[in-house]
């Protein structure tokens, strides 16, 4: 087999499916969109580019082989900033990125890095030996930095916006870069650089159909005070409906994809765009079953109808809590009633509804937990995702509890669910609560599983037994804020200009 010619840039990322227990069990891997966008743009700019996909390849032996095969001049670890797993800043994946940098350094290859974790831990990454950390939206900064390093011979102090690097042991931050206002100028992600067939094989083997991901927007204008946004901030930008529908058409007709996940932080924020999107999809015969992440208060009858027309089969909403006082404390700008209404509208349209739920937020007691359990029992969502409050740098929540944090400040993987501040209960209670609630929701989908009733009863008995013995002395208390009823109006004004 002939050795390929060397490339200038080898792009990769650090999320490896089989280092994450929960995701390895689910077997629902998605390609690294952020890495593929950067690869497509660098290639369009004239750089020779290769991509090593850590998601399903061994990040040790596989990456070492990629270095030998492509002999790059620069390695770029560009995390998938559209994937919530990367945004969780998992410590196991940080270890992977450090190891890849070390392997590159053995061959004298400088390594650049971009992602939520490196943005939060700039000094840590630079001390580890990374050449520079790319901050914020990275594409333009990356192109200018590659130009400086590979074409202009600049290896040290750059004036390029959006960077952090070391100079005489001190961290130098260059000027912030303004965000792009035209997402349509970006080429489609470089899917030809990954093994689409391998992803499809995994999906078909475990779920009966192939699935892949894409994004229609970047950012989220809502200001939930526990949500970290180190890359895109609060500014929301949309691609044109025609561009998104065209990408869907290619995925359907050229790649044979059978299902899509829109990895947007928030989908369907602009109701006019959703209608235009449905029209564009119909014009191209591009409709595919897809799932999205959105908010309950965006699920108007008009929007739900347009989503259905475009192919939407599943909407995941950040319900978080069935307690209005906790939603208010989170600055969620959402009412419990709106969650119930959205669930009803989606169900009436034949669209599955999933709830993201979060336990352990400061101020939550057994009363508020039971209100969340009650919400689930009233609404009977088709699926749920259960987490505990996770303080990440850059959030109001983190600032409030940072003095309580110990050495462990990140989860190891997405299964971790460790409470790292003084919540009302210990980890054991919240994990038991998660197990019981998941089990009950699964029973909603299988009314014939009568033999499981005793097991469900046992799970809930365990929850209430642990509730009595897992209480934390002096849990964190936060002031309960008034509901911001203008949250949606303010965000719509920001989107519509």
Average pLDDT, stretch 467-496? 62
Q: Which of 125, 146, 173 is the last residue of a domain?
A: 173
Nearest 10 degrees: Cα torsion 114, 197, 103, 126: 10
CB within 8 A of 185, min separation 6: which ones? none
Query: 165 and 228 in one domain?
Result: no
CB 330 within 8 A of CB 318: no
| 262 in any annotated domain | yes
Could you tell me the pLDDT band of residue 1, with boundaries at 50, 70 and 90? Answer: low
CB within 8 A of 95, min separation 6: which ones? none
Tell me which DSSP letter residue 471 carries: B
The Cα–Cα gap between 353 and 380 comes to 9
Q: So what's the pLDDT on residue 497?
A: 28
Q: Which of 148, 173, 198 is the last residue of a domain?
A: 173
Average pLDDT, stretch 364-378? 98
The Cα–Cα gap between 431 and 23 comes to 17
More confident residue, 483 or 144: 144
Within 183-341, strands assigned E span 212-214, 217-218, 237-238, 260-262, 290-294, 312-320
| 96 in any annotated domain | yes
CATH at 38:
3.40.50.280
**Stretch among 311-315, 399-403, 453-457 having the lowest mean pLDDT:** 453-457
Q: Which of 135-139, 181-185, 274-278, 408-412 has the highest average model confidence (pLDDT)?
A: 274-278
Could you tell me the pLDDT band of residue 485, with boundaries at 50, 70 and 90? Answer: very low
Q: So what's the pLDDT on residue 494?
A: 37
Average pLDDT, stretch 328-334? 96
| Closest C-alpha to 35, from 88, 91, 97, 92 | 97
Average pLDDT, stretch 206-223? 96
Query: 272 and 409 in one domain?
Result: yes
Angle 271-283/301-310 helices, nearest 10 degrees? 20
pLDDT, tens digit, 9 for 90 and up, residues 157-200: 578 999 999 999 999 999 998 887 899 999 999 999 999 999 99
Q: So what's the pLDDT on residue 487?
A: 44
Q: So what's the pLDDT on residue 331?
A: 95
Average pLDDT, stretch 4-21? 92
Query: 89 and 224 in one domain?
Result: no
pLDDT, tens digit, 9 for 90 and up, residues 40-67: 999 999 999 999 999 999 998 999 999 9
CB 109 within 8 A of CB 72: yes
Q: So what's the pLDDT on residue 415?
A: 82
pLDDT above 70: percentage of residues in the chain: 94
**Exposure string over 212-249, b if 16+ CB within 10 A, otherwise e:** bbbbbbbbbbbbbbbbbbbbbeeebebbbbbbbbbbbb
| 28 in any annotated domain | yes
The Cα–Cα gap between 199 and 51 comes to 15
Model confidence, pTM:
0.92
Could you tell me the pLDDT band of residue 152, with boundaries at 50, 70 and 90? Answer: confident
The Cα–Cα gap between 465 and 468 comes to 6
DSSP assignment string, 34-62: HHHHHHHHHHHTT--EEE--TTTS-TTHH
CA atoms within 13 A on the CB side of 129: 15
CB 401 within 8 A of CB 372: no
Residue whose entry in the numeric block shows the structure tokens 């599983």: 449
For residue 93, what are the domain limits? 9-173
Helices (H), 121-234: 122-128, 139-146, 196-207
Beta bridge partners of 109: none
Query: 243 and 160 in one domain?
Result: no
Query: 355 and 236 in one domain?
Result: yes
CB 36 within 8 A of CB 191: yes
| 441 in any annotated domain | no
* Residue 482, pLDDT above cutoff 90: no
CATH at 488:
3.20.20.70
Q: Which two tokens stand for residue 45?
A: 């700019």
CB 286 within 8 A of CB 237: no
Q: So what's the pLDDT on residue 157?
A: 59
- Domains in the chain, number: 2
pLDDT, tens digit, 9 for 90 and up, residues 435-447: 999 999 999 887 6
The Cα–Cα gap between 278 and 287 comes to 9
Q: So what's the pLDDT on residue 488?
A: 42
Query: 145 and 46 in one domain?
Result: yes
| 75 in any annotated domain | yes
| 205 in any annotated domain | no
The Cα–Cα gap between 49 and 4 comes to 12
Q: Which two tokens stand for residue 186?
A: 């970006």
pLDDT, tens digit, 9 for 90 and up, residues 98-128: 999 999 999 999 999 999 999 999 999 999 9
| 63 in any annotated domain | yes
Q: So what's the pLDDT on residue 479?
A: 59
**Exposure string over 63-81, b if 16+ CB within 10 A, otherwise e:** bbebbeebbbbbbbbbbbb
Query: 225 and 109 in one domain?
Result: no
Element (H, E) at 10: strand 9-12
CB 9 within 8 A of CB 76: yes
| 431 in any annotated domain | no
CB within 8 A of 474, min separation 6: which ones? 422
Query: 373 and 243 in one domain?
Result: yes
Query: 247 and 129 in one domain?
Result: no
Query: 480 and 333 in one domain?
Result: yes
pLDDT, tens digit, 9 for 90 and up, residues 215-273: 999 999 999 999 988 888 888 999 999 999 999 999 999 999 999 999 999 999 999 99
- Rg over alpha carbons for the chain, rounded to the nearest Å, is 23
Mean pLDDT of the chain: 91
pLDDT above 90: percentage of residues in the chain: 78
Query: 169 and 215 in one domain?
Result: no
pLDDT, tens digit, 9 for 90 and up, residues 246-260: 999 999 999 999 999
Query: 400 and 259 in one domain?
Result: yes
Q: Which of 173, 191, 221 is the last residue of a domain?
A: 173
């Amino acid at each position: 087999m002939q050795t390929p010619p060397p490339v200038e840039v080898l792009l990769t990322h650090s999320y490896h499916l089989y280092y994450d227990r929960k995701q390895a069990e689910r077997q629902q891997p998605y390609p690294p969109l952020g890495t593929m966008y950067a690869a497509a743009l660098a290639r369009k700019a004239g750089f020779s580019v290769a991509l090593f996909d850590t998601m399903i390849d061994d990040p040790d032996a596989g990456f070492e082989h990629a270095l030998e095969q492509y002999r790059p001049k620069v390695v770029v670890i560009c995390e998938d900033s559209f994937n919530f797993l990367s945004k969780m800043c998992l410590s196991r994946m940080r270890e992977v990125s450090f190891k890849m940098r070390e392997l590159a350094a053995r061959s004298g290859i400088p390594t650049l890095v971009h992602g939520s974790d490196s943005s939060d831990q700039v000094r840590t990454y630079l001390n580890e030996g990374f050449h520079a950390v790319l901050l914020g939206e990275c594409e333009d900064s990356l192109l200018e930095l590659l130009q400086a390093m590979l074409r202009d011979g600049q290896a040290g102090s750059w004036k390029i916006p959006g960077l952090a690097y070391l100079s005489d042991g001190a961290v130098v931050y260059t000027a912030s870069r303004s965000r792009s206002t035209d997402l349509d100028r970006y080429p489609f992600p470089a899917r030809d650089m990954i093994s689409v067939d391998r992803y499809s094989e995994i999906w078909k083997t475990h779920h009966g159909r192939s699935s892949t991901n894409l994004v229609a927007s970047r950012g989220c204008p809502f200001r939930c005070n526990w949500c970290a946004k180190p890359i895109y901030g609060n500014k929301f930008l949309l691609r044109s409906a025609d561009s998104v529908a065209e990408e869907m058409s290619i995925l359907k007709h050229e790649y044979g994809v059978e299902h899509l996940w829109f990895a947007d932080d928030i989908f369907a924020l602009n109701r006019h765009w959703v209608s235009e999107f449905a029209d564009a999809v119909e014009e191209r015969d591009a409709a595919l079953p897809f799932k999205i992440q959105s908010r309950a208060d965006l699920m108007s009858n008009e929007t739900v109808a347009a989503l259905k027309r475009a192919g939407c089969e599943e909407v995941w909403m950040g319900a978080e809590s069935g307690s209005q006082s906790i939603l208010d404390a989170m600055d969620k700008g959402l009412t419990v009633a709106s969650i119930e209404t959205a669930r009803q509208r989606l169900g009436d349209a034949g669209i599955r509804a999933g709830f993201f739920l979060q336990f352990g937020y400061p101020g939550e007691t057994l009363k508020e937990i039971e209100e969340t359990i009650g919400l689930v029992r009233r609404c009977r969502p088709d699926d749920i995702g259960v987490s505990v409050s996770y303080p990440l740098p850059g959030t109001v929540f983190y600032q409030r509890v940072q003095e309580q944090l110990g050495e462990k400040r990140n989860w190891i993987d997405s299964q971790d669910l460790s409470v790292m501040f003084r919540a009302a209960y210990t980890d054991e209670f919240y994990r038991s609560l998660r197990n019981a609630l998941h089990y009950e929701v699964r029973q909603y989908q299988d009314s014939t599983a009568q033999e499981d009733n005793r097991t469900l009863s046992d799970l809930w008995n365990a929850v209430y037994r642990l509730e009595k013995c897992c209480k934390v002395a002096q849990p964190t208390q936060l002031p309960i804020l008034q509901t911001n009823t203008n949250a949606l109006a303010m965000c719509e004004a920001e989107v519509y200009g």
